[in-house]
Amino acid sequence: MVLEQHTPDGIFPPYSNYAHAVEVAAGSRLLFISGLNGFEPDGHTMPADFEGQAELIWNHIETVLADANMALTDLVSLRFYLADAALDPANVDVLKRRLGDHHAARTVVCTGLLEPDWLVEVEAVAAAPAR
């Protein structure tokens, strides 16, 4: 595996698919995934609810990963932008369902998003062995 998690003593324990740091081995392929939102493939419509948007974003992430010959287990880092801090428990539920036992470095930012209907945007980095 090209990924090694670092959980040093003296830092709070990791939680919910979170890793304090993830090291990527030299010579690995890196994939930087732009912030994805919950637009349907038509680029105009999106679910009105958080879970619908989040699930669609994870579908988009899996599609991009597959196009690079990667999978969710290759994710190294995730950055979540939430329209409201109250959405975090639902975000963690979706994250656990999608990642299972996989852990990645993770940041959650609560902020206003570009469009008022957007409830979540997700940015990701993945790494896999060189081809």
pLDDT in tens, 38-76: 999 999 999 999 999 999 999 999 999 999 999 999 999
The whole-number pLDDT of residue 131 equals: 82
Total tally of structural domains belonging to the chain: 1
CATH number of the domain that 78 lies in?
A: 3.30.1330.40
pTM of the model: 0.91
pLDDT interval class at 84 (50, 70, 90): very high
User: In whole angstroms, what separates CA 103 from the centre of its chain?
Assistant: 10
The pLDDT > 70 percentage for the chain reads 99
> What is the separation of C-alpha 115 from the centre of its chain, rounded to a whole number of angstroms?
20
Tokens of 77: 């880092």
* Predicted confidence band of residue 121 (pLDDT cuts 50, 70, 90): very high
pLDDT average, residue stretch 94-107? 95
Q: How many CA atoms lie within 13 A of 75 on its CB side?
A: 29
Bridge-based pairing state of the strands 120-128 and 21-24: unpaired
Which of 118, 100, 127 lies closest to 35, judged by CA? 118
> Domain span at residue 69?
3-128
In this predicted structure, what is the pLDDT of residue 1?
A: 57
Q: What is the mean pLDDT of residues 79-96?
A: 97
